[in-house]
Amino acid sequence: MADERRIRVLMAKPGLDGHDRGARVLTLGLRDEGMEVIYTGLRQTPEKIVQAAIQEDVDVVGLSCLSGAHRYLFPEVVEQLKANGVEDMLVIGGGIIPKEDIAFLEEKGVGAIFGPGTSIKEIASYIRENTKRK
């Protein structure tokens, strides 16, 4: 059986939001699910996130925001990935995202939004099924 390349994830906190319990838990949890996960820490600009994603050659970028700035920050990350010629990176999000904003974010290229109560397993399954990179 060929060596399966492990899925690589960048867990990021865009903007100024300091609530990173979910980002940390998901970093540790996805590692236990067999993925390679890098957590950026707080206060990342969309530029920094995209730079890190490209540098680390990740398959997935996970964005966490609980401060209400997601409508600007998440699409900005997607836009900047495209502007850098990256078309096949899966972008997913979580945090406190009001229901009304989910369709908007998905339209802008965010693959899925995982709100409070989501399990690590759900997110891991979604990633496995939707990663576009080979």
Partner 1 sequence: MFDKDRIEEIERKRKEWEEGTLKKSLERFGLKESPTKFYTPTDLRDFDFLDKVGFPGEYPFTAAEYPSLVPELRVRGGVSSLLVRASSYSGYGTAEDTRDYYNYMRSAYGRRGGPNIAFDLPTQCGYDSDSTMARGEVGKTGVSVDTLRDFELLYEAFVGDHDLDKIASNFTINAPCNVILAMYFTLAEKRGIPLDKLRGTPQNDILKEFAARGTYVFPPKPSMRMVRDTITYCTEHVLSMNPISICGYHIREAGATPVQMVGFTLSNAIAYVQLGIDAGLDVDTFMRRFTFLVWSTGMDFFKEIARARAGRRIWAKIMKERFGAKNPRSWMLRGAGGMGIPTHTLTAQRPLNNIARCVVTGIGNAMSGAPPFGGVPYDEPMGLGHSLEAQQLSLDAGRIMQFEAKLADVIDPFAGSYYVESLTDEAEEQIWGIINKIDAMGGAVDAIEKGYMQREIARSAYQYQKEVETGERVIVGVNRFTGEQELEVLTSRLVEHPYDPKKRAEAEEKQLKSLAQVKKERDDGQVQATLRRLREEAKDEGGNLIPPIMEAVKAYATIGEICNVLREVFGEYEAYNVTA
Residues found near partner 1 in the complex (CB under 8 A) = 15-21, 24-25, 27-29, 37, 39, 41-43, 45, 67-69, 71-73, 76, 96, 98, 115-117, 119-121
CA separation, residue 57 to residues 1, 11, 36, 91 (Å): 24, 13, 11, 13
Return contacts of 55-59, CB within 8 angstroms, 24+ apart.
56/8, 56/10, 57/8, 58/8, 58/9, 58/10, 58/89, 59/7, 59/8, 59/9, 59/89, 59/90, 59/127, 59/131, 59/132, 59/133
Residue number, 1 or 33, with CB nearest to partner 1? 33
CB of 114: closest distance to partner 1 in angstroms? 11
CB of 26: closest distance to partner 1 in angstroms? 9
Element (H, E) at 130: helix 120-130
Residue number, 4 or 15, with CB nearest to partner 1? 15
CB of 133: closest distance to partner 1 in angstroms? 22
DSSP state of 61: E
CB of 91: closest distance to partner 1 in angstroms? 16
Residue number, 128 or 132, with CB nearest to partner 1? 128
Residue number, 68 or 109, with CB nearest to partner 1? 68
